[in-house]
Amino acid sequence: MAKIVQVRRGTTAALSSVTGAEGELFVDTDKETLTVHNNYQAGGFPLLREDLNNLAAGAVGIDKISVSGSSAGQDLKVNDAGNGLEFGVGGRIVSYNTYRFTARFTAPAATAEYTWWTENFNRTRSDSSIWVVSDTPCFELPNGVYVGVAININGYKTARGLKHFRPNTDTTTIGFNTLVTPSEIGTTTGNIAIKHFWNWHYVSGSNKPFNVTNFQGGGSGLGLDNRVSASAITEGHMIVMEIV
C-alpha cells in the first residue's frame, strides 16, 4: 500500500508568524503552494505556482522583464498574431510641437519660390518620420487654385497632402496633412526647418496663391470685415509630430 507523506500546513495568516527550520517545507492552504523556510524568515518564502494565481497584481517590476533581443527605443507590444508580446516599433509619437501663424501677410507676385511661413522643429531621433498638419486662412485666389504651393521639410519639398478649401471666391484655407520618412528628409536631429512656399517647379508668370493671410475685423478691404472689431482675427495653425 502506498504511503502518504504530508508536511506541516496552515492558512496564510497562521503561517505568517511561523519560522521554520532551514529547509523545512510548509503548505499554505490559502495559496495552495509550498513555503520554504530558512530558520529566520517568519512565514517563509512562498513558491510561485505554475498558473501564477498566487502572484499578486503588480508584483513584477519593470526591472524584472528581460530586454533580450530588443534595441533602444523599441516598444513592448502585442504581436501581429495577437497571442503574445514582443519588442518592436510601436508607431508612437515621441515628440510634438504646435505653432501659430498670426501675421496679416500680403503675398507678393513672385517669379521664383517664395516662402510665407517658416518654423523650426526639434527632431530628437534620426530614424523618425515627421507628420505635419497645418492650415492657413487666406483671402482670394488671384492666380487660380494652384501655383505650386508645397511644403519643405528639412530640404525635402513635396505637395503631398495639400489641403485647399475654397467655399467661395473670396476665402480659402491652404494647408497640409503630410507624412515624410527618414529616407526623404535624412537623419538630421535638432532643429529642422519646415517651410510653406509657392512656385514649386516654377516655369513662368508672376504668381501668388492668395492675396492676404488671415481675416480680421475693424475695417474694409482685403480680408477685412467692419461688422466685427479689429480684435477678431484668425490664425494659421500647425502641429508637427515625430513618429517612430
For the stretch 160-212, pLDDT in tens is 999 987 766 678 899 999 999 999 999 999 999 999 999 999 999 999 999 99
Tell me yes or no: is domain 1-65 CATH 2.40.50.100: no
The residues spanned by each domain of the chain are 1-65, 93-243
Is residue 62 classed as helix, strand or coil in its secondary structure?
Answer: helix
pTM: predicted TM-score of the whole model, two decimal places: 0.66
φ, ψ dihedrals at 12, nearest 5°: -60, -45
Report the CATH number of the 93-243 domain: 2.60.120
Spatial CA neighbour of 149 closest among 208, 197, 205 = 197
Confidence of residue 35 (pLDDT cuts 50, 70, 90): very high
What element of type H or E holds 14?
helix 12-15
Neighbours of 84 (CB within 10 A): 8
Q: What is the mean pLDDT of the chain?
A: 91
* Predicted pLDDT of residue 65: 83
Which is it for the CA torsion 74, 185, 138, 236, positive or negative? Answer: positive
- Strand boundaries in 140-235, DSSP class E: 150-153, 156-158, 162-165, 171-180, 190-198, 212-213, 216-217, 224-225
CA distance 94 to 88: 15
Q: How many other CB atoms are there within 10 angstroms of residue 14's CB atom?
A: 14
Q: How far from 138 is each of 113, 135, 146, 164, 186, CA to CA, in Å?
A: 19, 9, 13, 10, 32
* pLDDT for res 167: 66
